[in-house]
Chain A
Amino acid sequence: MYGFEALTFNIHGGYLEAIVRGHRSGLLTAADYNNLCQCETLDDIKMHLSATEYGPYLQNEPSPLHTTTIVEKCTLKLVEDYKHMLCQATEPLATFLEYITYGHMIDNVVLIVTGTLHERDVQELLEKCHPLGMFDSIATLAVAQNMRELYRLVLVDTPLAPYFSECITSEDLDDMNIEIMRNTLYKAYLEDFYKFCQKLGGATAEIMSDLLSFEADRRAVNITINSIGTELTRDDRKKLYSSFGLLYPYGHEELAVCEDIDQVRGVMEKYPPYQSIFAKLSYGESQMLDKAFYEEEVKRLCLAFEQQFHYGVFFAYMRLREQEIRNLMWISECVAQNQKSRVHDSVVFIF
Chain B
Amino acid sequence: MGEEEEKGSSENGVESKEEEQDEQENNVLRFLDSLDSYLVLMDSLSPTLRQGWMELASARHSMGASRINSALFDLKHHNAATSLEVNHHDDTTMQQTCFTLCKWASPDTQNLCSKEATLEEGELLQRKASSPQIRHRGASRSSEEVQEKRPQPYGPPVTVDDQVQKERSKSLSVFGALVSPKLRGAQLSFETALETLVEIANIRSTILCARDQVQEEMKTTM
A positions within 8 Å CB-CB of B: 68, 71, 107-108, 111, 114-115, 118-120, 124-125, 127-130, 175-176, 178-180, 182-183, 222-223, 225-232, 260-261, 284-287, 290, 326, 329-330, 333-334, 337, 339, 342, 345-346
A339 & B154 in contact (Cβ 8 Å cutoff): no
> Judging by beta carbons under 8 Å apart, are B154 and A284 in contact?
yes
* Cross-chain contact of A228 among B74, B154, B174 (Cβ < 8 A): B154
Whether B179 contacts A118 by the Cβ 8 Å rule is no
Q: Which of B58, B60, B178 contacts A230 (CB 8 A)?
A: B178
Question: Which of A115, A183, A284, A337 touches B152 (beta carbons < 8 Å)?
Answer: A284
**A287 and B182 contact, CB distance less than 8 A:** yes
Verify if B61 is at the interface (C-beta below 8 Å from A): yes
C-alpha spacing A231/B69, complex, angstroms: 24
CB distance from B78 to the nearest CB of A (A): 10
Distance A238 CA – B176 CA, assembled complex (angstroms)? 18
Q: Inside 8 A of B2's CB, which chain A residues have their CB?
A: none
CB of A128 within 8 A of CB of B176, answer: no
B84 at the interface (CB under 8 A from A): no
Residues in chain B near residue A330, CB distance under 8 A = 57, 61
B side interface size, CB within 8 A: 35
**Which residues of chain A have C-beta atoms less than 8 A from B54's C-beta?**
333, 337, 339, 342
Residue numbers of B with Cβ under 8 A of A are 50, 53-54, 57-58, 60-62, 64-67, 69, 71-76, 152-156, 165, 169, 173-174, 176-182
Q: B182 to chain A: which residues have CB within 8 Å? A: 287
With the chains together, A111 CA to B65 CA distance in Å? 11
Residues of chain A within 8 A of B174, CB atoms compared: 114, 118, 175
Task: Sample 15 A-B pairs with CB under 8 A, ordered by A number.
Answer: A107-B66, A111-B72, A118-B74, A119-B75, A120-B72, A128-B66, A175-B174, A179-B176, A183-B178, A222-B180, A223-B178, A284-B152, A329-B65, A333-B54, A339-B54
A175 and B58 form a contact (CB under 8 A): no
A128 engages B69 (CB within 8 Å): yes
Tell me how far the C-beta of A192 lies from the nearest C-beta in chain B, rounded to whole angstroms. 21
Question: Which residues of the other chain, A, contact B58 by a CB distance below 8 angstroms?
Answer: 287, 345-346
* A232 to B155 CA separation, bound complex (whole angstroms): 19
**Would you call A226 and B181 a contact (CB within 8 A)?**
yes
In the complex, the answer to whether B178 meets A227 with C-beta atoms within 8 Å is yes
Partner of B65, one of A68, A179, A180: A68
A183 to B169, CA, bound (A): 19
Q: Are B66 and A111 in contact (CB under 8 A)?
A: yes
Q: Known: A130-B66, A326-B61, A329-B65. Contact between A176 and B154, CB under 8 A?
A: no
Q: Which residues of A contact B153 (CB under 8 A)?
A: 229, 286
Given A226-B181, A346-B58, the answer on whether A107 and B64 have CB atoms closer than 8 Å is yes
Contact A286 B66 (CB under 8 A): no
From known contacts A120-B71, A120-B72, A130-B66, infer whether A226 and B178 are also in contact, taking CB-CB under 8 Å: yes
Q: What distance in Å separates the Cβ of B55 from its nearest Cβ neighbour in chain A?
A: 9
Residues A124 and B71 in contact, CB atoms below 8 Å apart: yes
Q: Indicate if the CB atoms of A179 and B156 lie closer than 8 Å.
A: no
Min Cβ gap B173→A in Å is 4
Give the residue of B57, B71, B156, B173 whose beta carbon is less than 8 angstroms from that of A128: B71
How far is A228 from B180 in the complex, measured between Cα atoms in Å?
10
Q: How close is A85's CB to chain B, nearest CB, in angstroms?
A: 23
Considering the complex, give the chain A residue whose CB is closest to the CB of B185: A287
CB distance from A26 to the nearest CB of B (A): 23
Chain A residue with Cβ nearest B152: A284
Q: Give the CA-CA distance A114 to B14 in the complex, in Å.
A: 75
- In the assembled complex, the Cα of A193 lies from the Cα of B60 at a distance in Å of 26
Residue of B nearest to A342 (CB): B54
Question: Which A residues lie within 8 Å of B73 (CB)?
Answer: 118, 120
Given A226-B181, A284-B156, do A333 and B57 touch, yes or no (CB 8 Å)? Answer: yes
Which residue from chain B places its CB closest to the CB of A336 in the assembled complex? B57
- Find chain B residues with CB under 8 A from A334 CB: 57
For A129, the chain B residues whose CB sits under 8 A away are 66
Residues of B within 8 Å of A222, CB to CB, are 180
- Which residues of the partner chain B approach A329 to less than 8 Å between Cβ atoms? 60-61, 65
Contacts of B64 in A (CB 8 A): 107
On whether the beta carbons of A337 and B176 are closer than 8 Å, the reply is no
B66 near A230: Cβ-Cβ < 8 Å: no
In the assembled complex, the CB of B171 is this many whole angstroms from the nearest CB of chain A, namely 11
- Cα distance A347–B181 in the bound complex, in angstroms: 19
Apart from A229-B169, A260-B155, what are 17 other A-B pairs with CB-CB below 8 Å? A68-B65, A111-B72, A114-B176, A119-B76, A124-B71, A176-B177, A178-B176, A179-B178, A183-B178, A229-B153, A231-B177, A286-B181, A326-B61, A329-B60, A333-B60, A337-B57, A346-B58
Closest-by-CB residue of A relative to B170 is A175
User: Whole-angstrom distance between the alpha carbons of A228 and B156 in the complex?
Assistant: 13
Q: Which residues of A contact B60 (CB under 8 A)?
A: 329, 333
Nearest-neighbour CB distance to chain B for A130, whole angstroms, equals 6
Q: How far is the CA of A71 from the CA of B73 in the complex (A)?
A: 21
A347 to chain B, nearest CB (A): 10
Most chain A beta-carbon contacts within 10 A, residue among B67, B72, B174, B182? B72
**Shortest distance from the beta carbon of B188 to any chain A beta carbon, whole Å:** 13
- Residues on B with beta carbons closer than 8 Å to the beta carbon of A226: 178-181
A235 to chain B, nearest CB (A): 15
Known: A286-B154, A287-B182. A115 touches B72 (CB 8 A): yes
